Structure formats: C-alpha cells, structure tokens
Structure 1
Amino acid sequence: MMKIANAPCSWGALEFDLEEKSEEIGFEQVLDEIKETGYIGTELGDWGYMPTTPSLLKAELDKRHLDLLGAFVPVALAKAANHDAGVVSALKVAELMYKAGFENSFIVLADDNGTVPERTKNAGRITAAMGLSEDQWKVYAVGAEKIAKAVKDAYGIRTVFHHHCAGYVETPEEIDKLMALTDPELLGLCLDMGHYAFGGGDPVKALKKYGKRIWHVHFKDYSPESAKASREADGDYFDAIKRGVFCELGKGSVDFQSIVKLLEEMKYNDWIVVEQDILPGMGNPKICAKANRDFIKSLGL
C-alpha cells in the first residue's frame, strides 16, 4: 500500500541559502499542518530545521502520529574534495534518523543545487555544453556511491539520488548517465515528477524506464506556462519557483493518473511525498497541502 507524506519544502522551508530564510514557518506549525491536512509522514528538511536530538525529534513526530521517511542531503559531488564532507553530512543525518527509530528512512542525496551559476540561470533549458566532462562524471558517481555505502554500512539506511533542476543532474540524459555509472544495489533513484518534467522529460516514461531502480517517489506538478514566463523574462531557477513552476497537483502537465496506474502495476509499496516547492512567504501552504491531498485521494490513494 502506498503511503502519502508531505515535506517542509511545501511550506517554503528550503535547503537553499536565501534572503527570504527569515520568513520560514517554524517546524511545529509545519508538522501540525501536515497532520491536519491528511498526511502520515514527512521528510526532515534542512539540517537544524527540526530537532537534531533523536529523542526530541521522535517526540515531536510521535505526538502527531507522523513517520519520518527521509532527509535531503546536498553535496557538490562533481569535486572529489567535497566527498569526505558529504559522507560526514550524510552519516550525521542518518545517525539522527536511526537513533530516533526511523531506520527505514532514506538519505535523499542530491547535488548542491543552486550553487553553480550557469546551471541555476538555465534551469529547465540546460544544453549538453553546460554538463559535466567524462572525468567529472566518474568523480560524481564515485562520490555518490561512497556516500551511499558509508550510510548503508553504518546504519543499514538506503540512499536514493534526487535529480534536481539547478544541479548537474537535471535532464533525462544526465539521469541516465548517473544511473549507468552507479551500482543499482547501492544507489536508488528518487523520481521527482515535477523536476523530471521541468528538466525536459516525461515522468511516465521515466517510471517505465527505471522501474525497480525507483525506491522513492516525489509528487510535484509542473506548470509549462510559468516556465515559459520565466524563460521569456530571462529568469533563473528561483524566478521560476516564484512564478509557480511547481503548481498544485493536477493543475500542471504531469499525468498523475497514468503515474498512479504504473506505480500500482509495479507494485510500488512505499512512500509518495508531496513536494510543492515554494519560496519562504509564498502563498498559503496549508490550503495547497489540503488541495494536493484531495487530488491524490481522487486518484484512489
């Protein structure tokens, strides 16, 4: 049975170092509203957003009857010099989840998105010339595997890679490349429907292509109209988010009906996490969370 969660990024609590950070909603309100809008799980959010003491974290989640299913860990994997720090970061997060009693959670590994100006500026319209060299790809893959292995060896926690706009693994071709270079037993894929669509792909095709390599799923919709408006204004990744490129589920171009049917056929029996990335202070996250949960119910989940 698929289980439905939401994440702090839907309330504007993002991992990026933004000027709007001061407008973030506190974790207590976010957890309350995740519960109140009908979800049964959450992701950890940026390190330090929720309590980093295992007993306190567990208490906050338990009193709302919420499960913790993963934590986003950004690492600039294209440079080997960052790999050891990435291992330390991932182990710190894995230890917290493990000691809090959430040993079935995932490390959601990603690039340090938003830190390479060219990729951030051209999110959703990346060309091959903006990509990694063959040598950099090897370094990238080695780093991802190194982190996944360290976490698995230490805590038995699995790692999925989250392709992401404004990072080095955004387009379908880049995802193919990383998957081909990494051990399918060690590194799974977190398929994010909205990022896959924004990166130029069809999420339905991705589901068919990667199948059992997909260990974790993010439900995010994509608005081509918002992307076009941002592109025409020469906007970057954050401009696209501000314009609502990740719209409410069912209001964009992602074919969620086909996706749910495929997930059922695949016998996917794990978490679906709603992530409607917004910037701090944008919109009314609770209303959107409720609308997104109602939409997913309309799909039979």
Structure 2
Amino acid sequence: MKIGVFLLIEPFASVEVQLQRAKAMGFTCADITDTNAGGSMLGTAGFSPTVSLDDNPFEVRRMFERYGIEPTAVCAHAGLLEPSSPGTYGTAEIMKAIQFAAAIGIKDIVTTDTDPRSAWAKGLSHREQVFVMAEKLYMPVKMAGDYGVRVLLEPHGPITDSISGMQEVFDRLGHPEALGVNLDTGNSWLGGADPVEMAKTFKDKIHHVHWKDLASEWESKRGTLYGCGFSTIALGEGVIDIKGVCDVLKDCPIDSSTLEIIGDEQTLKQSVRFLRECGM
C-alpha cells in the first residue's frame, strides 16, 4: 500500500507549495485535497491549496509530476444531506470530479454526507437522510461506472459514520461496483463506530484509507461529532485501534492511503513507520 499525505501541510499556501513540502518530506503520493467548481479567489491568489474542477486536469497532473508526486484520489466532500443549491457542493461537483479524475487516470473520488447544517437537513428522519443521500449519488455513481472509476463514501456524517447507515445507502443504490468506501479511522471512531468492525464489514469495498489517530481527550466527544478533519498526533499514540484496522486490511489489494495528520515531518514519518510495522 502506498502511503501519501494530505496537501494541507502549510496553511494559506498553494497546491504547488504543498507539493514542494510533500516532496521534501519524501512522500511520493497525495490526494487532490481540496476542489471547487469554477474559480476560487484565494486559490487564484495562491493562498489556498484548492484545485478547480473546471481546470485542465492534465495541467494539474503535470504539476504533480514536476515534484514526483502521484495523485491517488480526488476529494469531493459534499453536503449530501443539504437541499440542492448552486452554492452547495453536491451532485454537480461530484460529477465534475469524476470526469476530472478519469481524464488523468485517478481511480477514486471521495465524497460524504457531512453533518447537517440547515434546519431542513437537521429535520430529516433517518430514512429520509438515506434516501436524500442515495438520490444525490445515483447519477454520479452511474457515471463513475461508465468512466471506469469509483465513488468512495467516507465516514464523515450521521449516515456514513454508522456501519448500518453506510449499508443502507449501498442497499438503496443496489451495490454497484463503482461505489466503494474510503475508510477514515478517525472519523468513524469519533462518530461512534468501531473502525475495526467497519473495516471487517466493508473489507471488499474499501479502496482507499484516510489514517488518523486521536488522543484521549477526544473520548468525551465520541458519538457527538461527525469528523474532525485532522489529527495532531502520530499513528499509534492515541486511543484508536489502528493496528486492528491494519490486521484486517493488510492483505487487501488497496493501492493507496493518506495520512490526515497536521504535524511536523517527524510526526508524519513516525506514522509511516508505524503503518509499515503493522504490515501495511
């Protein structure tokens, strides 16, 4: 398994600066971490590590290649429980991400539900949440299959943080081959699931992993938050059973994974060593 890094190493810096930092640390792969439709003011000014889904994907790939970094996934995290709106990242952006990724040989597009923000989304029943999410994913997943790529659901919201909720979305969409899982060890644990059990349940559907461990002070927040973005400690130093997840997945044909850790070079390299020691 290749172990890459999220391109948010340096705050308020462009994708190119993030790639320079990743190369200097010895990484050879990374997610396309932030994406947007149209133009981004801060991205254009070089103050945000965002990639426009309306840019030429081949130019983006060439930028990665200049630094010897392979893009392994395109992140298209959406507000799938929110009412559809041009201002909300959703179905249209995921479909653009699919075309973008497929054009330059990236296999996986990662998306999620995200915690409900609006009063409308907060008022949905569980059954309605599953339906709304599946409805917004139906055409993207069908398109992904036609393009030969995959949409991966990441634990990051009230549906995806639950093993049963994730299963319900798969059931509603008919378990297409183009739909899989991006296991996030930190998000799943924080949302109340057992990452080891999630790995066991979706072992054949997990195609990418976001690695993070969390310290003991997060235990009181478990089951109350949907996603924490990043961890600040090295893998193996926290309360999450990262080794248990590795024991489940180490024989799976998962090509790539990503460290979601905000830390110095030593913290990142220590995390890579830990994963290697666990058989990844």
Q: Shared fold by TM > 0.5?
A: yes
Name the CA distance, whole Å, in 2 between partners of 1:46 and 1:247. 22
Q: Is the 8 A contact 2:216 2:239 kept in 1?
A: yes
Work out which structure has the larger RCO, using CA pairs closer than 8 Å and 6 or more positions apart in sequence. Answer: 1
TM-score (norm 2): 0.78
Distance (Å, rounded) in 2 between the aligned partners of 1:76 and 1:107: 15
Deviations 1:147-184 (A, max 9, x none): 1112332x32211111204x553233432332332332
Q: Does 1:140 align with 2:133?
A: yes
The one-character-per-residue Cα deviations of 1:226-272 (angstroms, maximum 9, x if unpaired) are 343x68xxx9779x66xx7663211112222222222134x333112
Structure 1 contact 159–188 (Cα < 8 Å) conserved:
yes
**In the superposition, relative to structure 1, how do residues 25 and 188 fare at CA in structure 2: closer, same or farther (>3 Å)?**
same
Are positions 1:41 and 2:29 aligned together?
yes
Say whether residues 1:211 and 2:215 are aligned partners.
no
Could you say which residue in structure 2 is the equivalent of 1:272? Answer: 257
8 Å CA contact 1:172–1:200 kept in 2: the answer is: no
- SS of 1:39's partner is coil
Q: Could you say what the CA RMSD is over the residues aligned between the two structures, in angstroms?
A: 3.3
- C-alpha change, 1:294 and 1:271, in structure 2 (3 Å) is same
Unaligned 5+ runs, structure 1: 13-22, 119-128, 279-283
For 2:118 and 2:249, locate their aligned partners in 1 and report how far apart those are by CA, in whole Å: 36
Moved more, 210-219 or 193-202: 210-219
Q: Which runs of 5+ in 2 are unaligned?
A: 36-42, 44-49
Within 1, Cα distance between the matches of 2:198 and 2:159? 18
Distance in 1 (alpha carbons) for counterparts of 2:57 and 2:106: 15
**Cα displacement (A) at 1:59:** 1.8
SS state of the match for residue 289, structure 1?
A: helix
Whole-Å Cα distance in 1 between the matches of residues 89 and 233 of structure 2?
Answer: 34
Mapped pair 1:257 → 2:260: no
Where does residue 98 of structure 2 map in the other structure?
Answer: 94
In the alignment, what sits opposite 2:57?
54
Q: Which amino acid aligns with 1:249?
A: L
TM-score with structure 1 length normalisation? 0.73
Deviations 1:196-231 (A, max 9, x none): 110112111111112202122221112232343x68
- Could you tell me which amino acid in structure 1 is paired with residue 204 of structure 2? K
Of Structure 1 and Structure 2, the greater helix share is in 1
Identical-residue share of aligned pairs (%): 22
Q: What corresponds to 1:220 in structure 2?
A: 212
Moved >6 Å (runs of 4+): 235-238
